Chain A
Amino acid sequence: QQQVKQSPQSLIVQKGGISIINCAYENTAFDYFPWYQQFPGKGPALLIAIRPDVSEKKEGRFTISFNKSAKQFSLHIMDSQPGDSATYFCAASGGFQGAQKLVFGQGTRLTINP
């Protein structure tokens, strides 16, 4: 119940295309869903986050879509660029009795071909 399942493991998209990464969770106590971007040798960087009271959040080329009834959420990267090539992690948090514990998905290695 603590797991967050992420797919696909790897993704190749042409420059200018749309990259879509999906995540699913079981624990209905989760109430905060961030996405992180990680480059090799670096720590994860917060991209965008959503709470379950909204179904979509957009920041620049990045959009989170959230489906509370299906317990799924996804990241869309519009007009994907070679600089977006990185590993992306979804995560979920909440319901841990005061502890801010992020539960991460397994990651998606995104490659944008020029």
Chain B
Amino acid sequence: DAGVTQSPTHLIKTRGQQVTLRCSPISGHKSVSWYQQVLGQGPQFIFQYYEKEERGRGNFPDRFSARQFPNYSSELNVNALLLGDSALYLCASSLAEGVPTEAFFGQGTRLTVV
């Protein structure tokens, strides 16, 4: 079975631009979460989606938005990019919501804002 897949793997954007990152969860997993990992730090929670609905949001500005599709894949959008948005963006999928279950991460999208 394929794991969590993310695309693209690397991306370079200019300040002020917009970016869309994509994630396909493990087959059968209905929950997708997004995390931002700045170099040298642990991942920080951005969003969780389950059955196309937002279930949780971290302490990130409104420039960050996400959605989940009927096939449970997800997109993370970031508008008006800042230099500080440069990071590894990770998607995690898990079987269910609520009760903590194992979360499996993709390889991430490395976003560089110049």
Closest Cβ neighbor of A89 among chain B residues: B42
How many interface residues does A have (CB within 8 Å)?
A: 27
The answer for the CA separation of A98 and B50 in the assembled complex, in Å, is 10
The answer for the CA separation of A17 and B41 in the assembled complex, in Å, is 26
How close is A104's CB to chain B, nearest CB, in angstroms? Answer: 3
How close is B78's CB to chain A, nearest CB, in angstroms? Answer: 18
How close is A25's CB to chain B, nearest CB, in angstroms? Answer: 13
Q: With A43-B90, A44-B90 in contact, do A100 and B43 touch (Cβ < 8 Å)?
A: no
Q: Which residues of B contact A93 (CB under 8 A)?
A: 100
A70 lies within 8 A of chain B by Cβ: no
The answer for the CA separation of A43 and B109 in the assembled complex, in Å, is 9
Residues A57-114 near B (CB distance < 8 A): 89, 91, 93-94, 96, 98-107
Assess whether A105 is in contact with B42, with CB atoms less than 8 Å apart: yes
Assess whether B43 is in contact with A102, with CB atoms less than 8 Å apart: yes
How close is A75's CB to chain B, nearest CB, in angstroms? Answer: 14
Q: Sort chain B's interface into a size bin.
A: 20 to 34
Known A34-B102, A43-B107, A98-B55; 10 more pairs at CB < 8 Å: A6-B42, A46-B103, A89-B42, A91-B42, A96-B56, A99-B48, A100-B100, A102-B43, A103-B45, A107-B40
Q: Please list 24 pairs of residues, one from A and one from B, whose beta carbons are closer than 8 Å in the complex, sorted by A's number.
A: A34-B102, A41-B107, A41-B110, A42-B107, A43-B6, A43-B90, A43-B107, A44-B43, A44-B90, A44-B105, A46-B102, A46-B104, A89-B42, A93-B100, A96-B56, A98-B56, A98-B98, A99-B55, A100-B33, A100-B48, A100-B55, A101-B58, A105-B42, A107-B42
